[in-house]
């Protein structure tokens, strides 16, 4: 029989009403044997996600500040859901244990992970599914990286012992037994890992939009839906800000080529977006797949006449970055310049020392720094075969009076990256969308 792994995001499980939609979806298809829940998310625009409450609780506890009010809000989220669903599970007992652990020094990841853990207990009870604690089946190595080898030596066997089960998202355990979480939005990765381990036919990722849109719906009004997207395009878009799916979610399913279907819990009939290994006939006639972007980057532009003939110049620049433990997002080059794009948060504390180092090691003619930059990626497997996409894109930006500060056409030729000022970000995304879609 076919097996589907279904991951539900925070907004899909934010209240009893939403959880009942989840139940209906799971029960509509026998193949939906494994459910990966997130923690309860926002019920309305200014609501607070349980995960954020748990981070605040941990923060308050570790600074010996008042914790009761935050704890009470967390308790209320879970007891409301339990009561409205008419379940009898004594969730208070689990909550008290979590509170006690946090007050007595449990780590931040442990605190954050309890959002999914507690929700998983409620959901398993509601569905009549077994509960598998992710700490027993998903593993990280001593450096905190996901340990695929260990996980895949244990999780497939564990799943086989259960006809149907709930595996909470977002966390696993370190070799010392302590809890470790993925980065924010990481329940998507858990879903992918479970899909791989179950050798699933499909990984369904249920959220609050009907799939990937060609641009962020918070910026462009009513953007077109992407019906089919490749793993690689998805990764570019997700990493660049289309946060519907965590950018690392494709790795676990990559080798097994399991398709991912992003679907809407509030509109289950909508086919959503299919994410697949590759698309036949790579370059479709019409244009781009999507646009995504993020704010707050610093661009360092290094200029030196004759740079192109100086052996080892690029290496010297990278050595400087390495010295400060910095990774970079992009590195567009031209004959006499190299630009390096790094997230503001990563570079802020060391920018001056880094510039001094570049001067000392690379002897450039000039080094220029611009911060508060936004990066926008226009992605499409079809772009490679098309003339004029970039011409249209730059014309649109010029018409909207957006000053383009940096350009990089990825060597994969599935994206064009532009850097603009933070203030121009929304305007630029709209202009590109209107010109190319």
Footprint of ligand ADP (CB under 6 A): 9-12, 38, 41, 185, 207-209, 212-213, 215-218, 242-244
Strand extents, DSSP E, 208-244:
228-230
Within 13 Å, how many C-alpha atoms sit on residue 119's CB side? Answer: 35
Pick one of ligand ADP, Mg ion, ligand ASP, none as the site partner of residue 382 (Cβ within 5 to 8 A by kind): none
Q: Which is nearer to Mg ion, 37 or 332 (CB)?
A: 37
**What is the closest distance, in whole angstroms, from the C-beta atom of residue 12 to ligand ADP in the complex?**
6
Nearest 5°: the CA angle 240, 241, 247 is 70
**What is the closest distance, in whole angstroms, from the C-beta atom of residue 293 to ligand ASP in the complex?**
20
Pick one of ligand ADP, ligand ASP, Mg ion, none as the site partner of residue 242 (Cβ within 5 to 8 A by kind): ligand ADP
Show contacts of 51-55: CB within 8 Å, 24+ apart: 51/10, 51/112, 51/115, 51/170, 51/184, 53/77, 54/111, 54/112, 54/114, 54/115, 55/108, 55/111, 55/112
x/- track of binding to Mg ion for residues 142-181 (CB under 5 A): ----------------------------------------
Cα distance between residue 50 and residue 57, in whole Å: 10
Q: What is the SS3 assignment for 296?
A: strand
**What is the closest distance, in whole angstroms, from the C-beta atom of residue 1 to ligand ADP in the complex?**
27
Q: Tell me 46's DSSP state.
A: T
Can you tell me which residue has the tokens 């781009």? 288
Cα distance between residue 34 and residue 258, in whole Å: 15
Cα distance between residue 414 and residue 75, in whole Å: 47
Pick one of ligand ASP, ligand ADP, Mg ion, none as the site partner of residue 217 (Cβ within 5 to 8 A by kind): ligand ADP
As given in the structure block, the two tokens for residue 313 are 């110049």
**What is the closest distance, in whole angstroms, from the C-beta atom of residue 256 to ligand ADP in the complex?**
22
**What is the closest distance, in whole angstroms, from the C-beta atom of residue 9 to Mg ion in the complex?**
5
Give the dihedral of Cα atoms 282, 283, 289, 293; nearest 10 deg.
90
Q: Which is nearer to ligand ASP, 234 or 418 (CB)?
A: 234
Q: Count of CB atoms within 10 A of residue 239's CB?
A: 16
Q: Which is nearer to ligand ASP, 188 or 247 (CB)?
A: 188
Which residues contact ligand ASP by CB under 6 A? 9-10, 38-39, 49, 51, 115, 169-170, 184-188
Pick one of ligand ADP, ligand ASP, Mg ion, none as the site partner of residue 209 (Cβ within 5 to 8 A by kind): ligand ADP
Q: Which is nearer to ligand ADP, 42 or 359 (CB)?
A: 42
Q: Which is nearer to ligand ASP, 116 or 147 (CB)?
A: 116
**What is the closest distance, in whole angstroms, from the C-beta atom of residue 117 to ligand ASP in the complex?**
11
Q: Which helix (H) or strand (E) holds 50?
A: helix 50-62
Is residue 382 close enough to count as binding Mg ion by CB under 5 A? Answer: no
Q: Tell me 214's DSSP state.
A: S
Q: Scan residues 181-200 and list those touching Mg ion (CB under 5 A).
A: 185
* Site of interaction with Mg ion (CB under 5 A): 9, 185
């Amino acid at each position: 029989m076919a097996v589907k792994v279904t991951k539900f995001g925070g907004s899909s499980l934010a209240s009893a009403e939403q959880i009942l939609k989840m139940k209906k979806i799971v029960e509509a298809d026998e193949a939906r044997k494994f459910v990966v829940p997130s923690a309860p998310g926002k019920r309305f625009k200014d609501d607070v996600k349980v995960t954020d409450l748990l981070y605040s609780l941990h923060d308050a506890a570790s600074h010996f500040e008042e914790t009761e009010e935050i704890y009470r809000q967390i308790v209320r989220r879970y007891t409301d859901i339990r009561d409205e669903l008419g379940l009898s599970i004594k969730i208070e007992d689990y909550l008290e244990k979590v509170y006690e652990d946090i007050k007595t020094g449990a780590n931040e990841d442990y605190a954050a992970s309890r959002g999914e853990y507690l929700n998983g207990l409620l959901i398993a009870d509601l569905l009549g599914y077994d509960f598998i604690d992710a700490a027993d089946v998903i593993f990280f190595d001593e450096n905190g990286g996901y340990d695929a080898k260990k996980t895949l030596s244990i999780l497939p066997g564990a799943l086989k012992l259960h006809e149907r089960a709930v595996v909470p998202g977002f966390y696993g355990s370190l070799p010392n037994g302590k809890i470790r979480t993925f980065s924010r939005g990481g329940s998507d990765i858990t879903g992918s890992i479970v899909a791989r381990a179950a050798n699933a036919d499909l990984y369904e990722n249920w959220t609050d939009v009907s799939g990937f849109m060609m641009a962020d719906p918070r910026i462009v009004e009513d953007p077109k839906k992407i019906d089919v997207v490749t793993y690689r395009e998805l990764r570019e878009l997700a990493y660049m800000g289309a946060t519907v799916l965590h950018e690392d979610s494709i790795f676990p399913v990559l080798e097994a080529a399991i398709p991912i279907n992003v679907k809407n819990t509030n509109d289950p009939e909508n086919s959503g977006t299919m994410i697949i290994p590759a698309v036949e006939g790579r370059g479709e006639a019409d244009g781009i797949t999507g646009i995504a972007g993020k704010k707050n980057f610093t661009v360092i532009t290094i200029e030196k006449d004759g740079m192109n003939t100086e052996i080892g110049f690029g290496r010297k620049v990278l050595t400087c970055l390495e010295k400060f433990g910095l990774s970079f997002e992009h590195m567009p080059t031209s004959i006499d310049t190299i630009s390096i794009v790094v997230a503001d948060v990563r570079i802020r504390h060391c920018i001056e020392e880094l510039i001094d180092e570049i001067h000392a090691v690379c002897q450039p003619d000039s080094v220029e720094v611009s911060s508060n930059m936004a990066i926008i990626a226009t992605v499409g497997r079809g772009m490679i075969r098309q003339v004029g996409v970039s011409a249209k894109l730059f014309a649109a930006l010029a018409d909207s009076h957006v000053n383009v500060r940096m350009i990089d056409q990825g060597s994969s030729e599935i994206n064009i990256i532009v850097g603009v000022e933070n203030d121009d970000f929304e305007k630029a995304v709209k202009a590109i969308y209107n010109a190319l879609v």
